[in-house]
Amino acid sequence: MIKRLLIANRGEIAVRIIRACRELGIRTVAVYSTADKENLHVKMADEAVCIGAPPSAKSYLNADACVTVALGTKCDAVHPGVGFLSENAAFAEKVQKAGLIWIGPEPETIRLLGDKVQARATAVAHGLPVTPGSDGAVSSEAEAKKIAARCGYPVIIKAASGGGGKGMRIVYEEKDLAENLKIASSEAQANFADGTVYIEKYLVNPRHVELQVLGDGKGGVAVLGERDCSTQKNHQKLIEESPSPGVSPEMREKMCAGAVSLFSALKYRGAGTIEFLASGNEFFFMEVNARVQVEHPVSEMVTSSDIIRDQIGVCAGLPMEAEPGVHALNGWAVEARINARAPGKIKTLHIPGGPGIRFDTFVYADYSVLPFYDSMIAKLIAWDSTRERAVKRLLRALDELKIDGVPTNIGEQKTILSSPQFLSGHFGTGLYAELFQQ
Ligand code: MV4
């Protein structure tokens, strides 16, 4: 078993990992940037070591510094959290080569899934539907024209090494294809050091649906339901819920069967997510995230599981807590991400409570929100027996939540959650733009 674990992250996810470690009897080592001395994860961890200057590139993205600190503090494991180095195969390899346990899937699995062209081909091999498009990289203008004509416009050009909406180009007519192909490829080269692009038919206003998966590393796979993450602003998720109001039992069964087949064949270890776009009764594989995700609490609440504790346990060689197979979902959970709109000092913080409420954060009264990192300062999650009740409960809790000193998106979250579109359950990735005309 792991005795001491280094957390190569900050914020609410680092706090969440510390909580799981406490329950597992694992001591924790936090790393932090010079700006983050007052971060809650630094105060909560058993030990904390400063690893560099505030910009992520000089601290939380410094793979060598994290490994050096892990060895220097006698850790036997490294948890990468979300973002930062969490899907960096080279970092996973460094951790393992240093003799440390990596809390995640094998580096080769991260590498395979990180290449969207390879991931798509792997998904197809396991019977998952993909959007019509190129079967691999598209290199010439002539080839692009042929594929786009076959799919029908609009089409979307994506970077093979991209993800999260970066470097995508939507093309509505053939006359714009050549130019966008060039731009997409050079942007991909500049951002991901890989100019490889591919083409898919563009779906208008789809739902973003993803499945929470846990693998035992030997082919045993548990699917802890889906999450709907359609409510987002410029590719930043705002609201996540489980189950998804747009997924029928038939669609869920097909999605889950494909996910079990894919993750089982990969002998996937730990927590992962498989993302789909859904439209009507159809769904299409998008990508796999080889890490735990920010929105994992909604899945924990409808499956009565502890995803982080299970993820760490499985990677430490313990038997998986979650039963292999597709889990039934109990009730409904909705999460609202609370973002700061500007840096500043939090003066007052009133935390909501009561039945079915969970509040995950790393901030407190007197904490100064920094300009260097993600703007998310908290996640408010509500659970209840039905969607209608869970949304009402979340709105009630948002009314209780008081944050003074920094501007936040609490008002905007209330507007979305009480909109007829959101309440109806019939909405797609275009909801935010529809509500705020931007
Ligand atoms: C798409 C799409 C429509 N059609 N692919 C954006 C992030 C990346 N993971 C995939 N994305 C999209 N891919 C096809 N073929 C629309 C999006 C998309 C989107 C997806 C999920 C959540 C929000 C989104 C917002 C805009 C576009």
Residue linked to tokens 């109990």: 330
pLDDT band at 164, cuts 50/70/90?
low
Q: Give me the phi and psi of 302, to 5 degrees please.
A: -90, -10
If DSSP codes are grouped into helix, strand and coil, which group holds residue 14?
helix
**Cα-to-centroid distance, 141 and ligand 1 (Å):** 23
Our answer on whether the CB atom of 429 is closer than 6 Å to any ligand 1 atom is: yes
Q: Using CA positions, which residue lies closest to atom 10 of ligand 1? A: 165
pLDDT for 165:
72
Residues 134-146, mean pLDDT to the nearest whole number: 91
**Cα-to-centroid distance, 404 and ligand 1 (Å):** 35
pLDDT tens digits along 24-41: 999 999 999 999 999 999
**Share above pLDDT 70 across residues of the chain, in percent, rounded to a whole number:** 100
pLDDT for 11:
97
**Residue 140 CB contacts under 8 Å (≥ 6 apart), including other chains:** none
Task: Say how far apart CA 305 and CA 46 lie, in whole Å.
Answer: 25
Atom of ligand 1 nearest to the CA of 284: 15
Residues 298-321, mean pLDDT to the nearest whole number: 98
**Cα-to-centroid distance, 165 and ligand 1 (Å):** 7
**What is the token pair recorded at 436?**
């705020």
Residues 344-364, mean pLDDT to the nearest whole number: 98
Residues 118-131, mean pLDDT to the nearest whole number: 95
Our answer on whether the CB atom of 131 is closer than 6 Å to any ligand 1 atom is: yes
Does residue 271 carry a pLDDT above 80? yes
pLDDT for 50:
98
Residue linked to tokens 């909604």: 298
Our answer on whether the CB atom of 183 is closer than 6 Å to any ligand 1 atom is: no
- The catalytic site residues sit at 291
